[in-house]
Structure 1
Amino acid sequence: MINDRLIDAGPVQIATRDFGGDQPPLLLLHGAGGNLAQMTTLARALRPHHRVITLDLRGHGRSADGDWTWDAALGDLAAVCVQLELDRPAVVGHSLGGMLAVLWGQQHPECPGVVSLDGNPPPTRPGQLPGLDPEKAAAELARLHAVFDAAEAAAGRIIPAEQLPDLVEQQQMAARDMGANEKVWVEGFRRNLVHLGGETSIRPSAALTGQLRTAMNELDLAPVHAATTCPRLLVLATRDLPQQEPFAELYAAYRRHQIEQADAVPGLRRVSLADASHAMVIEQPTALAALITDFLRPVA
């Protein structure tokens, strides 16, 4: 039986969804701007082998607002583990959730395994773009950061009531285009809507989006991976999202950097998933579930 529950994590309440079962526990974490509903298909694919618990990270979905720091978010995960009585859960995360998973593994050497699904901070300096001329790399980074600036400015915007039906229809069309479950996709969209004072807005807010950007831009995962002793798996994308295609050279260079960094860390298993973009959780949930299950099986 699937069970939704709010967990008190200090001043912040965290919304969780427990898919049930008596197999080894697994925390499944979504990416920035997402929520637990978007992990449903992967959660169902993992459920035969794990008790899967998904959650809305703070400032997302039905969880409460709270300043974003890595320590605060890790504290939220710890509160979920205590109150749901999860003993040594594996932690699997996508994008932002993947970064959290890696940080959890560093703090919890007893963890049976952490899996990062393309959980890498965005590129911020030319040295992270091998093969690109430094001057061109700097120019491309400036262009990319301008796109992120615009997205941050648009975060948390008010949606006129008359536009909501069209937006839901667009979500349904997007789900069909991706071959995803329409009901799950629309739940993910609706779960990030906030209805307050007769107005509707989308989470996360502009303030939280800015905090997330700062936290990710300042995060260097290379020393974290090197200092982590529990089993860890990094699954990397191999192609661009449509919105990344104007920056194809930049992202190709950054993927080379990610591979070089990962392969230099002893004990870190790295898989570059064929024909997978950053949206791999939507594109290939069955393949990811098989990878994750196989990786965790010897230690589960």
Structure 2
Amino acid sequence: MPDTPRNCETTIGSGSVPIVARDLGGAGAPMLLLHGAGGNLVTMTGLAELLRPAYRVVTVDLRGHGRSGDGPWKWDEVLDDLDAVVDELELTRPAVAGMSLGGMLASLWAARHPDCPGAVSLDGNPTPSRPEDLAGLAPDRAAAELARLREVFAGMSAALARPLTAEQVAAAIEGQRAMARQYGAAEEVWVEAFRRNLVPADDGASRLRPDPELTEELRLAMQSLDLVPAYRAVRCPLLLVLATVDMPEQRPFHDLYVAHRRRVLERLAAVRDNPCLTVLPLKGASHAMVAERPRQLAELITAYLSR
């Protein structure tokens, strides 16, 4: 198989929403690598580079993110976006791997495409939204913790919806550099990822994508998503890599996230008889595992898909 041109960026316009994809090239089998909510294709660069020796890796700006177009968040329509990328780039039976929101899509892709050679979800689980999502917490305590979490999310969403001044953009970029240093990642990649979601506004300020409308659509879409039917239906190899510890920003809600991870495992037990499904709680890894452990994840993904 010939090596394809590296870092070729393409806008696919054959679907209902223009989707931008970056082909990292490579002589291996094709792989779609999908980012999480609020990210873009650049946020997967570190992992993509580690996967590239074995795969022709194609990263994608999901609709409403990066340089892709806007459109309503409906799971089937987003999967159609990915089908359009696959068709346009002539990716024959690609493997699919994704982080968080991208992991949910990887699982849904696997259920839709039984001929897929394999899919990997990196902690692709909806955030907790109902007391029944929290195993082991009393209903009153669960409701109180969820209300507290919603208040924090609402504050974050309101802050992200406000336009950013040039000074705020500069401060955010310095914050990205500091985070990159913390994880031992390339600072310029983290800055590029931040800038890719930055949109100039008419008033001279800047705004971040996804916009507040899509952010709310995503929240509601994930709240209503039940992945168990997809896990039950999948007929190609699907690996679910699960976080086992809190991110720093989750620690004030430690009991909530422990209960949520417990509930995820309980629900997965109902589909453990599907031989196509493999569940791997990754010891010591948080929801930020792509930043924390890109090399380990690349090795894990490659080993799983080459079985």
Deviation for aligned residue 1:223? 1.5
Distance across 2 between alignment mates of 1:21 and 1:239: 34
Corresponding position of 2:156:
151
Corresponding position of 2:294:
285
Alignment match of 2:255 (pick from 249, 253, 259):
249
Aligned length: 298
Deviation for aligned residue 1:135? 1.4
Q: Which amino acid is 2:305 matched to?
A: L
Q: Is the 8 A contact 2:44 2:59 kept in 1?
A: yes
Q: Which amino acid is 1:289 matched to?
A: A
CA displacement, residues 190-241 of structure 1 (integer Å, 9 cap, x when unaligned): 1110013233111110000000001000001112111111110000111111
Please report the RMSD computed on the Cα atoms of aligned residues, expressed in angstroms.
1.2
CA displacement, residues 12-66 of structure 1 (integer Å, 9 cap, x when unaligned): 2111111111211100000000001010010011111111000100010111111
Corresponding position of 1:296:
305
Distance across 1 between alignment mates of 2:132 and 2:109: 27
CA displacement, residues 179-199 of structure 1 (integer Å, 9 cap, x when unaligned): 221111111111110013233
Q: Is the 8 A contact 1:69 1:215 kept in 2?
A: yes
Distance across 2 between alignment mates of 1:286 and 1:148: 31
Distance across 1 between alignment mates of 2:212 and 2:160: 5
Distance across 2 between alignment mates of 1:101 and 1:211: 19
- State yes or no: 1:260 paired with 2:266: yes
Deviation for aligned residue 1:264? 3.0
Distance across 2 between alignment mates of 1:176 and 1:21: 28
- State yes or no: 1:27 paired with 2:36: no
Q: Is the 8 A contact 1:58 1:64 kept in 2?
A: yes
Runs (5+) with no aligned partner, structure 2: 1-5
Corresponding position of 2:66:
61
Distance across 2 between alignment mates of 1:18 and 1:171: 25
Alignment match of 1:136 (pick from 125, 141, 150):
141
Runs (5+) with no aligned partner, structure 1: none
Please give the residue correspondences for 1:13-162 in structure 2 after superposition, counting only pairs within 5 Å: 13-162=18-167
Distance across 2 between alignment mates of 1:206 and 1:72: 20
Distance across 1 between alignment mates of 2:168 and 2:39: 21
Please give the residue correspondences for 1:178-257 in structure 2 after superposition, counting only pairs within 5 Å: 178-197=183-202, 198-257=204-263
Deviation for aligned residue 1:128? 2.0
Deviation for aligned residue 1:156? 3.4
Q: Which amino acid is 1:180 matched to?
A: A
Alignment match of 1:275 (pick from 284, 300, 307):
284
Match of 1:54, SS state, is strand
Q: Is the 8 A contact 2:200 2:206 kept in 1?
A: yes
Of 2-11 and 26-35, more deviation after overlay is shown by 2-11
* Structure 1 pair 127–166 and aligned structure 2 pair: CA distance change class (3 A): closer
Match of 1:130, SS state, is coil
Deviation for aligned residue 1:290? 0.8
Deviation for aligned residue 1:275? 1.6
TM-score between both structures, scaled by the size of structure 2: 0.94
Deviation for aligned residue 1:242? 1.3
Deviation for aligned residue 1:151? 2.3
Of 2-11 and 42-51, more deviation after overlay is shown by 2-11
Of 16-25 and 31-40, more deviation after overlay is shown by 16-25
Q: Is the 8 A contact 1:155 1:204 kept in 2?
A: no
Match of 1:210, SS state, is helix
Q: Which amino acid is 2:52 matched to?
A: R
Match of 1:62, SS state, is coil
Distance across 1 between alignment mates of 2:15 and 2:24: 24
Deviation for aligned residue 1:143? 1.3
Q: Is the 8 A contact 2:10 2:22 kept in 1?
A: yes
Corresponding position of 1:163:
168
Deviation for aligned residue 1:123? 1.1
Corresponding position of 2:3:
none
Q: Which amino acid is 2:267 matched to?
A: Q
